[in-house]
A and B are shown apart, each in its own frame.
Chain A
Amino acid sequence: MKTNLNLSFLNSLRINIVVLIYFLTFIGCVQNDSEFNKKFVNFTNELSVDVIDSASVVVIVPLQGCGSCIETWLNIIEKNGNEAQIMFVVTSYYKKHILNSFSDTVKFSDNIFLDTTGIAYRYNLVDISPKAYFLKHNTIIKVEVLDANNSQAVYNEMKAFLYN
């Protein structure tokens, strides 16, 4: 009797442990996703980026890191800086670095945001390559790491996401 009681208690404990492990792992990850989203919202608020609720794409381009990836996206910004629903954030610790990277027309476009104190780095939203954040209702639904090879494909994907 004593043995049966102990056995069933241990079996139930074992099941509970498994359930708890899954639960905590899941919660841990969900919290991180939600934390990440919160970080992103703080970031857009700090830079006054007006994210459109229905669908938006925010492209963050660091000025240090993968040279060819960055150059490709700087050229895209230079050509498409007026693509109103794509928000381009250019990040560096040096204001003069950003100011020296674009023509005046682009620098002062409404959808170009100059992150001159490296806020995107502080929130770990970008590393050595540019990144595109796809948003719906202020929630990140996809992140694409951008390089020199995928530029056109991802740019087309952004347009499809925004206008379809």
Chain B
Amino acid sequence: MIELYDVKFNFELKDMGKIVKVTFLLLFTIYFVSCEDSVQPFSKNKATKIEALVTANLIEIKSIEFELDKKTNPKSLASYYFFDKVSRKPYYVYLNNFNNEIQFYCINNGIKEYSLKFDKVGPNGVSELLSFYVKTMDSIFLISKNYGTLYLVNNKSEILKKYEVFNLENQSSYNKLFMINILPGLPAVFFKKSIFCCVKPDFVNPWELSDEEKHKSKMMLEVGLETEEIKLLSRYYPSEVFSKGNSSATYSMAYSENRFVYSFPFNHDLFVTVDSVFIKKPAKSNYFAKFSFLKSEPGFTKYLKHRIENPRYLDIIYDPFRKVFYRFAYRGSVLKGDDDLFKKNSFPDQFSIIILDSDLNKIGEVLLDKDKYYHKMYFVSSEGLYISENNINNPDFDENKLKFKLFKLVKN
């Protein structure tokens, strides 16, 4: 027994220097992780090598500005290009949530020509607006904080029809709480007298659901405009969206030539519907390789940090004038101790735009300047792709203007 101790402690004595070093290392580690605020940020994924073959590029052409009045928010989650076939004028249509109104700015002269203000209560009350889609000047679809109702209104802000989409039967339990999404990155699609809208399950705590349960969620809603028949399409999330630890149900969709193209934040591939089946198309960014997922409910600060530091794909949009797709990609950022997490989250410092041809083959990728653009305000016109410069970190930011940069697609 003593011999055994002798052997053991002789050995430990010999390695005492190592033990002391390890102990100090351990102590320092414990010290740094002892309180939440001291947690070091995740290291940023290294950018992958840029592809050699680039056949398309986006070139900055010019800037345009729309003057905002004192009661207009310089930031909006819902804004679109709209060409009025009656007046033959192109408009940038903008949701101003300060005033519960939709504003029409003429792109040719930068002047606000129309404004539709909506009551929150009363016979034409639509609650607080969240988003909209202009089909014609006299036929505008609205979604609001009266969740579950899709409104059709005219150009006098009067309600023409209310579609109560929440009274659906045969929903899976996971889809009982879902959001209708009509946004620039999730546009409404009109097809055969129906409007197709993206829906997203509202997972209360996605970390508590199994991948299989999340996969049972449906993604599209069809509303018969004349029949008022409302149904959730049997289009489920692709199983691999949730298979690698992702818990986010977020996605973006673009539509062209009877194809719905889905982009998920944490999947390099695009998912395209062909005859009701998904076909995958690779559309990977050159600026990141791997994704990082949170394994459990992280708390708000950790969630924000994780979101800022790690890459993800943003919106995908279709450019019908040039028959290409643009997929926005955020490559993640390195946080400093005194960074404003809210600002960094709302205005990602730098993102790239992947260009894909009509068959969804990647033909280029452009990394935009840092702290200059706002990824949620953009539109496509016959002239090219306009990206908002209303990034609050942009030194030229002015809260009384909407500024855009026009990018022209150039193919080699």
Question: Which residues of B have CB within 8 Å of A152?
Answer: none
Stretch at the interface among B135-143, B339-347, B377-385: B339-347
B60 to A: closest C-beta gap in Å: 26
Interface contact A28-B343, CB-CB below 8 Å: no
A28 and B34 contact, CB distance less than 8 A: yes
Please tell me if B411 contacts chain A, counting CB pairs below 8 Å: no
Q: A127 touches which one: B30, B71, B145, B301 (CB < 8 A)?
A: B301
B residues within 8 A CB of A67? 128, 145
B307-355 residues at the A interface, CB under 8 angstroms: 338, 340-343, 346
- The verdict on B113 contacting chain A, using a C-beta distance below 8 Å, is no
Cβ of B35 and Cβ of A32 under 8 Å apart? yes
Q: Residues of B contacting A25 with CB < 8 Å? A: 30-31, 34-35
Residue A29 at the chain B interface, CB threshold 8 Å: yes
Q: Does B300 contact A (CB under 8 A)?
A: yes
Q: Are A3 and B27 in contact (CB under 8 A)?
A: no
Which of chain A's residues has its CB closest to B69's CB? A96
Which residues in A have their C-beta under 8 angstroms from that of B38?
28, 32
Chain B contacts for A97, CB-based, 8 A: 73, 98
When distances are taken between beta carbons in the complex, the residues of chain B under 8 Å from A12 are none
For B271-308 the 0/1 string (1 means CB < 8 A from A) is: 00000000000000000000000000000110010000
| Interface flag for A148 (CB, 8 Å) | no
How far does the Cβ of B377 sit from chain A's closest Cβ, in whole Å?
14
Given contact pairs A28-B38, A124-B341, A127-B300, A21 touches B30 in the complex (Cβ within 8 A): yes
Are the CB atoms of A28 and B35 closer together than 8 Å?
yes
> Does any Cβ of B come within 8 Å of A84's Cβ?
no
Q: Is B158 an interface residue (CB 8 A)?
A: no
B12-A32 in contact (CB<8A): no
Instruction: Pick from B12, B27, B343, B392: contact of A21, CB below 8 A.
Output: B27
User: B62 at interface (Cβ–Cβ under 8 A)?
Assistant: no
A153 CB, min distance to chain B CBs, angstroms: 22
Nearest-CB residue, chain A, relative to B33? A28
Q: A157 to B72, alpha carbons, bound, how many Å?
A: 37
Chain A residues within an 8 Å CB radius of B32: 28
From the candidates A2, A121, A128, name the one contacting B6 in the complex (CB within 8 A): A2
Residue of A nearest to B72 (CB): A96
Check A118–B31 contact: CB distance below 8 A: no
A13 interface residue (CB < 8 Å to B): yes
Asked if B23 and A94 make an inter-chain contact with CB atoms under 8 angstroms apart, the answer reads no
B5 within 8 A of A: yes
Chain B residues near A7 (CB-CB < 8 A): 5, 9
Query: CA separation between A7 and B9, bound complex, in Å?
Result: 8
* Nearest Cβ on chain B to A1's Cβ, whole angstroms: 11
B86: interface (CB < 8 Å): no
Q: Quote the shortest CB–CB distance from B389 to chain A (angstroms).
A: 15
Q: How far is the CB of A67 from chain B (nearest CB, A)?
A: 7
Residues of A contacting B: mostly:
helix
Give bound CA distance, A97 to B74, whole Å. 9
Q: A10-B12, A17-B23, A67-B145 are in contact. Are A94 and B399 (CB under 8 A)?
A: yes
Residue of A nearest to B70 (CB): A96
**Interface of chain B residues 45 through 98 with chain A (CB within 8 A):** 70-75, 98
Given the interface pairs A24-B27, A118-B342, A124-B301, the reply to whether A6 lies near B37 with Cβ below 8 Å is: no
Q: Considering the complex, which residues of chain A in the window 8-56 have a beta carbon less than 8 Å from any beta carbon of chain B? A: 10, 13, 17, 20-21, 24-25, 27-29, 32, 35-36
Contact check, B74 vs A3: say whether CB atoms are below 8 A apart: no
**Contact present for A29 and B35 (CB under 8 Å):** yes
Complex interface: chain A residues within 8 A of B13 (CB) = 6
Instruction: Decide yes or no whether B2 CB sits under 8 A from chain A.
Output: yes
Q: Is A93 in the interface zone, CB < 8 Å from B?
A: yes
Contact in complex: B341, A20 (CB < 8 Å): no
- Check A96–B6 contact: CB distance below 8 A: no
A21–B34 CA distance with the chains assembled, in angstroms: 9
B30 and A6 within 8 A (CB): no
Contact A121 B341, CB 8 Å, known A94-B399, A128-B300: yes
A122 within 8 A of B: yes
What are the residues of chain B within 8 A of A36 when measuring CB–CB? 37
A13-B23 in contact given A93-B392, A94-B74, A124-B301 (Cβ < 8 Å): yes
What CA separation (Å) do A137 and B200 show in the bound complex? Answer: 49
CB neighbours (8 Å) of A156 from chain B are none
Q: Known contacts A6-B12, A17-B27; decide if A93 and B343 are in contact (CB<8 Å).
A: yes
- Check: A159 CB closer than 8 A to any chain B CB: no
B74 CB contacts on chain A under 8 angstroms: 94, 96
Residue of A nearest to B392 (CB): A93
Partner of B31, one of A24, A96, A121: A24
Measured in the bound complex, the distance between the Cα atoms of B343 and A29 in whole Å is 26
Q: A24-B27, A93-B392, A127-B342 are in contact. List 13 more A-B contacts (CB 8 A).
A: A2-B9, A10-B9, A13-B19, A25-B35, A28-B38, A67-B128, A96-B98, A96-B399, A96-B400, A97-B73, A99-B70, A118-B342, A121-B343
**Can you list 12 A-B contacts with CB-CB less than 8 angstroms, sorted by A residue number?**
A6-B12, A7-B5, A10-B9, A21-B30, A32-B37, A36-B37, A93-B392, A94-B73, A96-B399, A99-B70, A118-B340, A127-B304
Point out residues on B near A: beta carbons under 8 Å.
2, 5-6, 9-10, 12-13, 19, 23, 26-27, 30-32, 34-35, 37-38, 70-75, 98, 128, 145, 300-301, 304, 338, 340-343, 346, 392, 399-400
